[in-house]
Homo-oligomer: A and B are copies of this chain.
Amino acid sequence: MPRLLRKGSQTLGQPPGTMVFVGERKTEKSKITTIDYDDTHFEAKQVGQVEECFPYRDKPTVTWINVDGIHDLEVVERLGSHFGIHPLVLEGIVNTTQRPKTEDFDEYIYLVLKMLSYDESSAGILAEQVSVVLGPNFVISFQEREGDVFESIRERLRSQKGRIRQTGADYLLYSMVDAIVDQYFVILEKFGETIETTEEGLISDPVPERLQAIRSLKQDMIFLRKSVWPLREAVSALERAESKLIKKGTRVYLRDVYDHTIQVIDAIETYRDMLSGMLDVYLSSVSNRMNEVMKVLTIIATIFIPLTFVAGIYGMNFSPEASPFNMPELRWRYGYLACLGVMALVTATMVMYFRRKRWF
């Protein structure tokens, strides 16, 4: 969870706008790919030098420049300065501890997103920061490492599926946000299954491990919630942005993504409610079992303590020779049987009393 916070000591005392890579280095070498397209034209390539991207700034076609690996500060810096990006934005791009947000710089819009994925091995969430800069006819995206959720967008661009090739850079940006939000649904589905699995057997077998599992799921929900709330704000800011970079037709789509983020939040809240309920069930089961244990103790003890006392009485050694008043019962013909009978009677009375009290 402390992944939220790593800024501190590393950038301390640097002038603002100084780019310092903050985060785990997740890839070896930065890799830059460009996709240039319009209605009739499509070109995708991987470039060796940053400078090869520069001409796209002034071409009328839409260009998507994607950078995988942001620890190579020089690449980011040169790209940024050519496309006129503010030093603070560049500092933000290489700092992976940002919150999702939208910032409107008139000439371009800067968007920070968190791309989540579910890690099967640790049953946990992996988060990767995606920074996107939207210009009039270009989108530059920065990712921490190779591999993303944008493959279907590339496919649609390539095969001219849907209207993506007829539209501008803002629609491309929307498609990216949409792809990231869709991934949240996939993750929530995974968690939904885990929650259902955890719920089964909660009453029948309330071992402490289940408490641990519930708490861990709750933590994950808190983390998701903390990720998706600022995302919701960022998408909302994008939709309402008074920027001419976002065309009216695209706003309808952005409102749709916005609705999706609300649905994600709804689902998270539902899961949190379910987990809270499961916690209550667990605690109540534990307490029920404890009560059961205590009842057994009480019943056994309450029945046998008086019986043992009676047996103790007739184990006393008062001397019959000294006086006929000393324990004459011991010398009765049916003394022993009478004693056992009394014990049986006491037991039966108690059992009936407990039954009536519905203790078992």
Binding site for B on A (CB under 8 A): 1-2, 4-9, 11-18, 86, 88, 92, 97-99, 101, 103, 151-152, 155-156, 161-164, 174-175, 178-179, 182, 185-186, 188-189, 192, 196, 203, 205, 208, 211, 215, 218-219, 222, 226, 252-253, 255-256, 259-260, 262-263, 266-267, 269-270, 273-274, 277, 280-281, 283-284, 286-288, 290-298, 300-302, 304-309, 311-323, 325-327, 329-337, 339, 357-359
Q: How many copies does the complex hold?
A: 5
Chain B residues contacting A218 (CB-CB under 8 Å) are 277
Q: Give the distance to chain B from A71, nearest Cβ to Cβ, in Å.
A: 20
Within the assembled complex, what's the spacing in Å between the Cα atoms of A283 and B288?
Answer: 11
Assess whether A99 is in contact with B12, with CB atoms less than 8 Å apart.
no
- Would you mind naming 23 contact pairs between A and B with Cβ atoms under 8 Å apart? A2-B192, A4-B266, A4-B267, A8-B185, A8-B186, A99-B259, A99-B266, A211-B284, A219-B277, A286-B291, A294-B298, A300-B302, A304-B305, A308-B309, A309-B311, A311-B312, A316-B317, A318-B330, A319-B320, A319-B331, A322-B331, A322-B335, A323-B335
Chain B residues contacting A8 (CB-CB under 8 Å) are 182, 185-186, 188-189
Assess whether A162 is in contact with B15, with CB atoms less than 8 Å apart.
yes
Chain B residues contacting A284 (CB-CB under 8 Å) are 208, 211, 283
Q: Given the known A-B contacts A305-B301, A316-B315, A339-B316, are A263 and B97 also in contact in the complex, defined by CB atoms under 8 Å?
A: yes
Within the assembled complex, what's the spacing in Å between the Cα atoms of A319 and B321?
Answer: 13
Assess whether B162 is in contact with A274, with CB atoms less than 8 Å apart.
no
Chain B residues contacting A331 (CB-CB under 8 Å) are 319, 321-322
A218 nearest CB neighbor, chain B only:
B277
Within the assembled complex, what's the spacing in Å between the Cα atoms of A273 and B223?
Answer: 10
Assess whether B314 is in contact with A270, with CB atoms less than 8 Å apart.
no
Chain B residues contacting A295 (CB-CB under 8 Å) are 293
Q: Given the known A-B contacts A12-B152, A263-B99, A308-B309, are A208 and B288 also in contact in the complex, defined by CB atoms under 8 Å?
A: yes
Assess whether B359 is in contact with A293, with CB atoms less than 8 Å apart.
yes
Assess whether A178 is in contact with B315, with CB atoms less than 8 Å apart.
no
What is the predominant secondary structure among interface residues of chain A facing chain B? helix
A162 touches which of B2, B18, B208, B313 (Cβ 8 Å): B18
Chain B residues contacting A86 (CB-CB under 8 Å) are 252
The 10 closest A-B pairs by CB, nearest first: A15-B162, A13-B152, A311-B312, A8-B185, A314-B316, A323-B333, A315-B315, A297-B298, A322-B331, A318-B336
Q: Give the distance to chain B from A273, nearest Cβ to Cβ, in Å.
A: 6
In the complex, given contacts A1-B270, A301-B301, what are 20 additional A-B residue pairs having Cβ atoms less than 8 angstroms apart?
Answer: A5-B263, A6-B189, A13-B179, A14-B152, A16-B174, A88-B256, A99-B259, A99-B263, A219-B274, A222-B273, A286-B287, A293-B298, A293-B359, A300-B302, A304-B308, A316-B317, A322-B331, A322-B335, A323-B336, A325-B334
Q: Give the distance to chain B from A341, nearest Cβ to Cβ, in Å.
A: 12
Q: Give the distance to chain B from A185, nearest Cβ to Cβ, in Å.
A: 3
